[in-house]
């Protein structure tokens, strides 16, 4: 189904999901699988996936999870462990649907948590590295406060109108994310246990002014990981590095990919 620069609809998670392909297909080059944030979708990555494919010469695939973009709606309310379910039940289907052979998981916010859960829960030798932008491993009061403010902006401000440009069922998209995070049971959500089981190099990128998470998230990743973790804390940057500092973010990703390529090229010689 891979066609460079074209959108596709494919079956996964019991419904139809939208995706978009950039660059070479998985049978000709490694693939970067991009996993969006809690209110993201294919279109909200903007032109970053295309630029990433051009810079790395990897294929890049983006898709909208159920409830987002043009994908089928999700069943609500989402369970507190919805990110774990996305990682261990849905993501394997998506990787299979595109014919993923090797590459990198790149996630932002909720997507970063999903990528980390996958790498720490499923032994998949096809995954060569992780890029985690603004990952969440546990809840923080300041993050929950920001999510509560997002609910107010959605109900009384212009957030609903802005999001409706990107999501076919905007209430499904917003409520699925916001109601789960503001569920009292979610205050105890914690996925730190997966960190120790990640067996590939990690690049973590976070804005110093991220309104949804502090540097404590990155510190937990560094302290509990047994594998190399490179960290980039970006000044004058909030929750979305690929939007707020796209050139710097692209340079970091390109360097990470090149380093993985060098490591893989050297492995046969060292064996």
Q: Is residue 118 part of a domain?
A: yes
Contact 114, 83 (CB under 8 A): yes
Residue 143 counted as domain residue: yes
Is a pLDDT exceeding 50 seen at residue 246?
yes
Query: Distance between CA 137 and CA 82 in Å, rounded?
Result: 14
Strand order in the sheet with 59-63: 7-12, 15-22, 59-63, 31-35, 103-108, 127-133, 202-207, 229-234
Per-residue pLDDT reduced to its tens digit, 51-74: 999 999 999 999 999 999 999 999
In tens, the pLDDT along 250-270 reads: 999 999 999 999 988 887 644
DSSP code of 142?
H
- The arithmetic mean of pLDDT across residues 87-110, rounded, is 98
Q: Is residue 114 part of a domain?
A: yes
Q: Note whether residue 2 is domain-resident.
A: no
- Predicted confidence (pLDDT) per residue in 192-224, tens digit: 999 999 999 999 999 999 999 999 999 999 999
| Overall domain count for the chain | 1
Tell me the average pLDDT of the chain. Answer: 97
Domain that holds residue 41: 7-270
Residue 109 lies in a domain: yes
In a domain, 18, yes or no: yes
Q: Is residue 67 part of a domain?
A: yes
Q: What is the CATH number of the domain that holds 158?
A: 3.40.50.1820
pLDDT of residue 264: 86
According to the model, what pLDDT value does residue 270 have?
44
Residue 183 lies in a domain: yes
Average pLDDT over residues 99-117: 98
């Amino acid at each position: 189904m891979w066609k460079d620069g074209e959108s596709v609809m494919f079956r996964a998670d019991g419904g139809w999901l939208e995706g978009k392909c950039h660059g070479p297909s998985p049978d000709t080059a490694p693939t970067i699988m991009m996993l969006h944030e809690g209110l993201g979708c294919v279109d909200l990555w903007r032109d970053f996936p295309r630029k990433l494919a051009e810079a790395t010469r990897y294929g890049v695939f983006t898709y909208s999870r159920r409830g987002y973009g043009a994908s089928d709606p999700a069943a609500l309310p989402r369970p507190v462990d919805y990110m774990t379910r996305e990682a261990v039940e849905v993501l394997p289907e998506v990787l299979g649907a595109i014919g993923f052979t090797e590459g990198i998981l790149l996630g932002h916010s909720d997507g970063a948590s999903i990528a980390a859960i996958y790498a720490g829960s499923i032994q998949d030798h096809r995954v060569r590295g992780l890029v985690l932008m603004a990952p969440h491993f546990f809840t923080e009061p300041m993050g929950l406060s920001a999510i509560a403010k997002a609910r107010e902006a959605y109900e009384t401000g212009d957030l609903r109108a802005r999001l409706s440009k990107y999501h076919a069922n905007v209430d499904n998209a917003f409520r699925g994310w916001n109601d789960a995070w503001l569920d009292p049971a979610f205050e105890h959500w914690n996925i730190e246990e997966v960190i120790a089981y990640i067996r590939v190099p990690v690049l973590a990128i976070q804005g110093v002014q991220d309104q949804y998470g502090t540097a404590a998230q990155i510190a937990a990743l560094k302290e509990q990981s047994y594998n190399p973790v490179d960290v980039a804390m970006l000044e004058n940057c909030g929750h979305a590095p690929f939007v707020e500092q796209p050139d710097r973010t692209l340079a970091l990703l390109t360097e990470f990919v090149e380093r993985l390529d060098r490591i893989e090229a050297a492995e046969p010689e060292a064996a």
